[in-house]
Structure 1
Amino acid sequence: MSHAAYVFDAYGTLFDVHAAVRRHAGDVGPNYQIFSEIWRAKQLEYSWTRALMGAYADFWQLTEQALDYTFQRIGGVDPSLRQKLLDAYWKLDCYPEVPAVLKALKQRGAHIAILSNGSPAMLASAVKNAALDTVIDDIFSVDALKTYKTAPAVYDLVTTNYRLYPNAVSFQSSNRWDIAGATKFGFRTVWINRSNMPDEYFDLGPSLILPSLESL
């Protein structure tokens, strides 16, 4: 079934959030995977708590704060790596199948967009670094609203801008909580379960579960 718009979460869906630490794994040390997981978990936690408090700080600030926390949590990592890790986050690798999948969907005549917690500058950098700027039509950032997913107003950025009903939008995310929010809003949702995680939010299930974007 074709949709008028195919909208993608950015981090974890198009771009590998663990690529920054993996690039410097030798310097971070044997706990590099745990280091990366904590950095990501705190980044998301900060977005949810700040959205609930109404105390917005943009996603880059949260990324920096989460990294600082991680250095404290995982001892023995050289603090001089901080800037290298932050620089790497601006140029995350996209997953291998992403360029071909987005190009094929665009050739169907659909809108191709990103809807992300990321700040506009972060997203523009990631898209340009992955050479996706020729296939992505629009980048919608929560920064326009000063809140975070899963606020319904975030998903409404797409429907308002494209003047579409929610069910005309296919939304893809690797984050199950994001899929729950988008499902509640009314999007057709595809959970990209890259890590083979167990399901949750059973009352807000996706339309489809895929291991990657390849079968989209």
Structure 2
Amino acid sequence: MKPIKALVFDLYGTLYDVHSVAGACGERFPGRGLEISILWRQKQLEYTWLRTLMGDYVPFEKATDDALDFVASHLKLSLTTAAHKDLCDAYLRLQPYPGVEATLTSLRERGLPLAILSNGSSFSIGSVVKNSGLDHLFDHLISVESTKVFKPHDAVYRLAENALGWSRDEILFVSSNGWDACGARHFGYQVCWVNRNGNTLDVLGQKPDFAVTDLRELPDLVGNAVMS
């Protein structure tokens, strides 16, 4: 295993809590915030995969909008145009998980370039990172836009390899999404799966090189297990 020269992070669900929108959902529909958020996220992901398979790319914001339309219809929620926009805008203000800033700062202090590789558009990624005040910690914010496909397509993972200038086996890809961790490992990255909730890894013929339960474990992992 080669020493790690750079790190690439997934954004949604890895650095930022997608269910931080549950509060906004609950304000509109008391007692149903998390229910709405969970189904919304599920359909959002499904639509990115299906759009890729169909060869019918739309920006991530559109997939998010469409997923919310499905949720409103499926759960029989009365959702005005203004409320729909407000909830989708909440995805631009996602909250980072505890310890994210300290973890990223520690990694940067080790001289490691840091990047985000996300299904989000450049606008969405930039908005989320800037709104959280963490934009100064990243060397690259990389969107799938130029590929017109979504993760876990190889073309997406190649974007980070090209941007960072290191070979894929010298890059550590970090994701809390099991399917994303498998996709990145298939591409050839070293991979760390952030398994916060004790989930079962998807059976896709790939296994991450490392697994942690909290991002705050990452600096020690990189220092002790990878760089040695």
Alignment correspondent of 1:56? 57
Paired with 1:3 and 1:90, the residues of 2 have a C-alpha distance of 31
RMSD: 1.5
CA distance in 2, matches of 1:84, 1:209: 36
Q: Which residue of 1 aligns with 2:37?
A: 36
What aligned pairs does 1:151-162 form with structure 2 within 5 A after superposition?
151-162=153-164
Deviation at 1:165, TM superposition (A): 1.3
How far is 1:204 from its partner?
0.4
Count of residues in Structure 1 that have an aligned counterpart in Structure 2: 216
Moved over 4 A (4+): none
CA distance in 1, matches of 2:184, 2:177: 11
Look up the SS of the partner of 1:96 in the other structure: coil
Q: CA deviation at 1:23?
A: 3.4
Structure 1 residue 153: Cα displacement:
1.2
Q: 1:189: how far off?
A: 0.5
Partner of 1:118: 120
What are the superposed Cα offsets for residues 82-106 of structure 1, whole Å, 9 maximum, x if unpaired? 2221121111111111111011101
The answer to whether 1:74 aligns with 2:75 is: yes
> Counterpart of 1:25?
26
Q: Distance between the aligned counterparts of 1:86 and 1:50, measured in 2?
A: 19
Q: Distance in 1 between matches of 2:146 and 2:34?
A: 33
Q: Tell me the CA shift for residue 144 of structure 1.
A: 1.4
Cα distance in 2, alignment partners of residues 118 and 76 from structure 1:
26
Please say if residues 147 and 156 of structure 2, whose CA atoms lie closer than 8 Å, have aligned partners that are also in contact. yes
TM-score, length basis structure 2: 0.90
- In 2, the alpha carbon distance for the partners of 1:212 and 1:14 equals 11
- What is the DSSP-based 3-state SS (H/G/I as helix, E as strand, rest coil) of the residue aligned with 1:203? coil
Give the Cα separation in 2 of the matches to 1:91 and 1:123: 10
* Residue equivalent to 2:66: 65
Distance (whole Å) between structure 1 residues aligned to residue 24 and residue 205 of structure 2: 38
SS at match of 2:49: helix
Aligned to 2:95: 93
State the alpha-carbon separation in 2 of the partners of residues 199 and 180 from structure 1.
Answer: 9
Deviates more, 1:160-169 or 1:128-137: 160-169
Q: Measure, in 2, the Cα distance between the counterparts of 1:159 and 1:83.
A: 35
CA distance in 2, matches of 1:188, 1:77: 45
Unaligned runs of 5+ in 1: none
| CA–CA distance in structure 2, aligned partners of residues 26 and 75 of structure 1 | 17
* Secondary structure of residue in 2 paired with 1:128: helix
Q: For 1:77 and 1:20, how far apart are their aligned partners in 2?
A: 18
Cα distance in 1 for partners of 2:217, 2:159 equals: 26
